[in-house]
């Protein structure tokens, strides 16, 4: 049971990291808009600070995604049976309950939605960003 709890904790941790990464991406977009507004009004010092903050949020987002990817590798490793116990005196795994199967589907669906939003947000950012001279 401890292995199962560790797996669930790791999956929840990955989910939290990806959710936080989405929030960081949204914050970066907010600071990008603020930067554009300040530049339009000729407030270059405010625009520079807004650009700095947007960059911080993007770096934090990337760190969170990197950590979430590391957790995904760990989760995949945890799901694999260890070579020492593979097929030796173990009963076949029982059928998971309907609730646990549905919960797993919901978690996977949320993670995929987060990944899609991040991909979409990244694409939107590159489309809206003007080249800097």
- Give pLDDT, residue 86: 57
In a domain, 87, yes or no: no
60 in Cβ contact with 24 (< 8 Å): yes
Nearest to residue 8, comparing CAs of 124, 119, 99, 131? 99
Residues in the chain with pLDDT values less than 50: none
93 in Cβ contact with 71 (< 8 Å): no
Show the domain range for 61. 2-81+98-126
In a domain, 64, yes or no: yes
- Give pLDDT, residue 25: 96
In a domain, 91, yes or no: no
In a domain, 109, yes or no: yes
In a domain, 15, yes or no: yes
- Give pLDDT, residue 60: 97
The number of distinct structural domains making up the chain is 1
- Give pLDDT, residue 102: 83
């Amino acid at each position: 049971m401890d292995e199962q709890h560790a797996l669930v904790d790791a999956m929840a941790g990955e989910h939290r990291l990806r959710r936080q990464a989405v929030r960081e991406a949204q914050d970066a977009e907010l600071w990008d808009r603020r930067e554009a507004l300040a530049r339009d009004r000729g407030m270059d010092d405010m625009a520079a600070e807004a650009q700095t903050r947007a960059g911080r949020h993007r770096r934090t987002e990337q760190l969170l995604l990197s950590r979430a990817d590391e957790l995904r590798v760990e989760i995949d490793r945890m799901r694999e049976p260890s070579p020492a116990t593979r097929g030796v005196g173990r009963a076949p795994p029982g059928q998971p309950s309907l609730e646990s199967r549905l919960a797993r589907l919901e978690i996977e669906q949320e993670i995929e939605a987060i990944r899609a939003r991040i991909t979409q947000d990244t694409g939107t950012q590159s489309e809206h960003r003007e080249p800097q001279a």
